[in-house]
Amino acid sequence: MPMFRRVLTGRVAPGKHSEFLRAVEEALDYQSARGIEARFSVWDAITGPTSNVEIIAEFEDLKELEQYEELAAQDQRFAQLRRAVREAMVFDSAEINIYRNLI
């Protein structure tokens, strides 16, 4: 059972859904090839503003979450891939939260 969850909520820019999905898939492939074994999912709203999305990463332990954060901070190629995801998003509503499993 995952112990930590990192959730990015935001909106996809109008007309950018295919770019967004392509960029997310490239980033997920890259981090997986570098040993990040977290479970990732992308949720897209079907009620309210349909451009709202959540990118969810579930980590087994804090060490795995820290490994992800280190990759994000130190790897230039990964930074480029993440930037491509952000460029397809609108940031007036983006938010990142980290949760831990209590029960």
| pLDDT score for 94 | 58
pLDDT of 15-62, one tens digit each? Answer: 999 999 999 999 999 999 999 989 999 999 888 777 889 999 999 998
| Average pLDDT across the chain, whole number | 89
Predicted confidence (pLDDT) at residue 101 exceeds the cutoff of 90: no
If one counts the domains in the chain, the total is 1
Measured between alpha carbons, how far is 49 from 57 in angstroms, rounded to an integer?
22
pTM of the model: 0.82
Measured between alpha carbons, how far is 26 from 89 in angstroms, rounded to an integer?
16
CATH number at residue 87: 3.30.70.100
Burial status of residue 12 (CB atoms within 10 A of its CB: 0-12, 13-18, 19 or more): buried
List the domain range (segments joined by +) for residue 93: 4-100
Measured between alpha carbons, how far is 20 from 13 in angstroms, rounded to an integer?
9
